[in-house]
């Protein structure tokens, strides 16, 4: 519950706390507002959410008839039962990418802008790779222009949240709205994201009645007899008898139907199959959520049939389960997350095929597992983090001088310091570690 200090501050800022769902209906009628659910009594961006599935920003649902229906039916896919509901509107609706209406003409303009944005951060070789990846993404079938823009920014940002939102802001956008294409997230068909708090105007904060229901349900699940009786009466008054104590127990034992038109129920039905091979007919299902579920349960010998699936998440699931010796066929997958799964499990003998991967993060993971006698192949990598990983891992032994010596004269002072400290700690004589070819090398070694 909000304390007096918070109430005073919100009144001063012109934001009123209310529990009446009728307020939401009023905002939904205009189709201009968004709703963000949070356990914090304020609207903002979580700065620690760098590892996420989308750009850094404020995630919300558009307040429209569909969202209101989900709220009434308690079927919001995510965060709908958090304590507070923050209502806001964009300060400039023209700077929102409406993924449903985004045109091919606008995509062509933004692709040119994206190339100009990334060019200063990439050398000639890397820029060629970037353009090749972009061309591949742009040629993908069954992708709308809005979907292609999302995938382009995802790949170019290497799925780093802050870089992802940076690209959209450089393109001149304040936010992105997905009206129901499952582009932003496959489990949340319709949602929006805004990249800065000052791109939106908060108008009201409501105490979420669904949060109270969740608390009551937790008490019911815990077997609290007193709460259970009250809960049955409460949910009865709300017209939602399924959340009674006996119904909750029954729901856990429910058998879902493979013929269901609801994707979530159908997915659960597939997971309930006692014989995983019975899921094979759904490998070519049009719904990517269903195909991902199939990839989670079918026997390993059938996973190859989903290795080239058009959906990145499906291929990621495949990469997690595919037998290790078959992962080499996914080394050049266009999605960073897929290759991330590959680099974690692929046999070491194939890791050298990934030392020139486009992703700095993946090359850093290659360093962690690459045999020590092959690290010399990466000692001139263009990423400081990759070379730092090499410096930390390489033992100070004469047989690795072809790695140690280049790192001692690395352009990054931190890497040079790591190497010098390691040599001093083992008490070795640098003069005997390296073949002396010229006076510059001699001076470098004497200064260690």
Model pLDDT for residues 184-200, shown as the tens digit of each residue: 887 778 899 999 999 99
pLDDT of residue 298: 95
Percent share of the chain, pLDDT over 90: 39
Residue 356 backbone phi and psi in degrees, to 5: -115, 25
Query: Residue 220's pLDDT band (boundaries 50, 70, 90)?
Result: low
Domain assignment of residue 396, given as a range? 372-448
Same domain, 329 and 381: no
Within-domain flag for 321: yes
Within-domain flag for 230: yes
Spatial separation of the C-alpha atoms in residues 379 and 222, rounded to whole Å: 57
- Single residue among 312, 346, 380 that ends a domain in this structure: 346
Spatial separation of the C-alpha atoms in residues 269 and 263, rounded to whole Å: 10
Same domain, 20 and 71: yes
pLDDT of residue 155: 84
Pairing of strands 34-38, 84-90: antiparallel
Query: Residue 7's pLDDT band (boundaries 50, 70, 90)?
Result: very low
Within-domain flag for 185: no
Residue 399 backbone phi and psi in degrees, to 5: -70, -10
pLDDT of residue 223: 53
Average pLDDT in the 235-263 region?
53
Spatial separation of the C-alpha atoms in residues 229 and 95, rounded to whole Å: 51
Cβ atoms of 112 and 51 within 8 Å: the answer is: no
Average pLDDT in the 266-282 region?
90
Same domain, 85 and 119: no
For 323: left if phi > 0, alpha if psi spans -120 to 50, otherwise beta; the answer is: beta
Cβ atoms of 201 and 63 within 8 Å: the answer is: no
Average pLDDT in the 128-151 region?
81
- Residue 420 reports pLDDT greater than 70: yes
Within-domain flag for 186: no
What is the torsion angle, in degrees rounded to the nearest 10, for the CA atoms of residue 254, residue 257, residue 260 and residue 266?
A: 80
Q: Which two tokens stand for residue 91?
A: 């300060």
- Residue 442 reports pLDDT greater than 70: no
Q: What pTM value is reported for the model?
A: 0.53
Spatial separation of the C-alpha atoms in residues 285 and 277, rounded to whole Å: 15
Which of 58, 67, 18 is closest to 38 using CA atoms? 58
Which of 168, 116, 133 is closest to 358 using CA atoms? 133
pLDDT of residue 241: 37
- Single residue among 346, 363, 397 that ends a domain in this structure: 346
Spatial separation of the C-alpha atoms in residues 390 and 233, rounded to whole Å: 64
Within-domain flag for 194: no
Same domain, 118 and 239: no
pLDDT of residue 3: 37
Name residue 89's beta-bridge partners: 201
Same domain, 142 and 59: no
Same domain, 315 and 387: no
Which one-letter DSSP state was computed for residue 257?
A: P
Spatial separation of the C-alpha atoms in residues 220 and 136, rounded to whole Å: 52
Same domain, 275 and 316: yes
Within-domain flag for 354: no
Same domain, 138 and 205: no
Spatial separation of the C-alpha atoms in residues 6 and 432, rounded to whole Å: 68
Number of domains in the chain: 5
Length of the chain: 448
Within-domain flag for 441: yes
Same domain, 87 and 206: yes
Q: Which two tokens stand for residue 172?
A: 């001149």
Average pLDDT in the 392-411 region?
90
Q: Over the stretch 124-137, which tens digit does the pLDDT of each residue have?
A: 666 777 777 788 77
For 201: left if phi > 0, alpha if psi spans -120 to 50, otherwise beta; the answer is: beta
Query: Residue 259's pLDDT band (boundaries 50, 70, 90)?
Result: confident
Same domain, 56 and 125: no
Spatial separation of the C-alpha atoms in residues 274 and 258, rounded to whole Å: 13
Average pLDDT in the 42-69 region?
80
pLDDT of residue 251: 41
Query: Residue 371's pLDDT band (boundaries 50, 70, 90)?
Result: very high
Within-domain flag for 117: yes
Average pLDDT in the 8-16 region?
40
- Residue 215 reports pLDDT greater than 80: no
Average model confidence (pLDDT) across the chain: 80
Average pLDDT in the 315-337 region?
92
Average pLDDT in the 337-361 region?
92
pLDDT of residue 317: 94
Number of neighbours of residue 443 by Cβ within 10 angstroms? 9
- Residue 253 reports pLDDT greater than 70: no
Same domain, 441 and 323: no
Spatial separation of the C-alpha atoms in residues 419 and 97, rounded to whole Å: 48
Query: Residue 4's pLDDT band (boundaries 50, 70, 90)?
Result: very low
Spatial separation of the C-alpha atoms in residues 371 and 360, rounded to whole Å: 19
For 142: left if phi > 0, alpha if psi spans -120 to 50, otherwise beta; the answer is: left
Cβ atoms of 149 and 97 within 8 Å: the answer is: yes
CATH code, 323: 1.25.10.10
Cβ atoms of 243 and 235 within 8 Å: the answer is: yes
Percent share of the chain, pLDDT over 70: 77
Cβ atoms of 370 and 351 within 8 Å: the answer is: yes
Same domain, 60 and 203: yes
């Amino acid at each position: 519950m909000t304390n007096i200090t918070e109430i005073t501050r919100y009144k001063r800022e012109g934001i009123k706390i209310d529990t009446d769902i009728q307020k939401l209906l009023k905002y939904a009628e205009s189709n201009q507002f968004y709703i963000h659910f949070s356990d914090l009594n304020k609207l903002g961006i979580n700065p620690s959410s760098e590892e996420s599935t989308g750009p850094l920003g404020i995630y919300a649902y558009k307040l429209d008839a569909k969202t209101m229906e989900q709220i009434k039916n308690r079927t919001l896919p995510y965060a709908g039962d958090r304590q507070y509901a923050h209502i806001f509107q964009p300060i400039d609706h023209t700077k929102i990418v409406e993924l449903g209406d985004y045109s091919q003409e606008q995509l062509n303009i933004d692709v040119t802008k994206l190339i100009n944005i990334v060019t200063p951060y990439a050398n000639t070789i890397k820029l060629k790779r970037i353009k090749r990846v972009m061309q591949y993404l742009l040629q993908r079938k069954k992708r709308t222009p809005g979907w292609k823009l999302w995938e382009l920014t995802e790949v170019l940002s290497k799925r780093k949240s802050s870089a992802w939102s940076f690209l959209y802001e450089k393109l001149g956008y304040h936010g992105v709205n997905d009206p129901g294409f499952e582009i932003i997230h496959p489990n949340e068909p319709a949602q929006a994201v805004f990249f800065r708090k000052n791109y939106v105007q908060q108008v009201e904060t409501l105490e979420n009645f669904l949060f109270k229901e969740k608390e009551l349900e937790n008490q019911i699940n815990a077997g609290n007899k007193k709460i259970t009786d009250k809960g049955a009466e409460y949910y009865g008054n709300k017209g939602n008898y399924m959340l009674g104590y006996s119904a909750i127990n029954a729901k856990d034992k429910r058998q879902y139907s493979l013929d269901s038109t609801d994707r979530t129920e159908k997915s659960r039905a597939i997971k309930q199959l006692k014989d995983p091979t019975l899921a094979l007919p759904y490998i070519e299902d049009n719904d990517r959520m269903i195909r991902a579920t199939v990839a989670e349960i079918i026997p390993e010998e059938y996973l190859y049939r989903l290795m080239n699936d058009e959906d990145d998440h499906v291929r990621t699931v495949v990469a997690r389960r595919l037998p290790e010796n078959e992962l080499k066929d996914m080394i050049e997958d266009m999605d960073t997350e897929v290759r991330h799964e590959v680099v974690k499990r692929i046999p070491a003998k194939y890791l050298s095929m990934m030392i020139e991967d486009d992703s700095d993060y993946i090359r850093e993971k290659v360093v962690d597992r690459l045999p020590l006698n092959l690290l010399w192949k990466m000692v001139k990598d263009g990423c400081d983090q990759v070379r730092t990983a090499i410096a930390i891992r390489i033992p100070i032994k004469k047989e690795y001088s072809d790695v140690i010596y280049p790192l001692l004269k690395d352009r990054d002072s931190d890497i040079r310091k790591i190497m010098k400290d390691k040599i001093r700690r083992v008490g070795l004589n640098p003069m005997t570690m390296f073949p002396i070819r010229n006076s510059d090398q001699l001076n470098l070694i004497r200064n260690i």
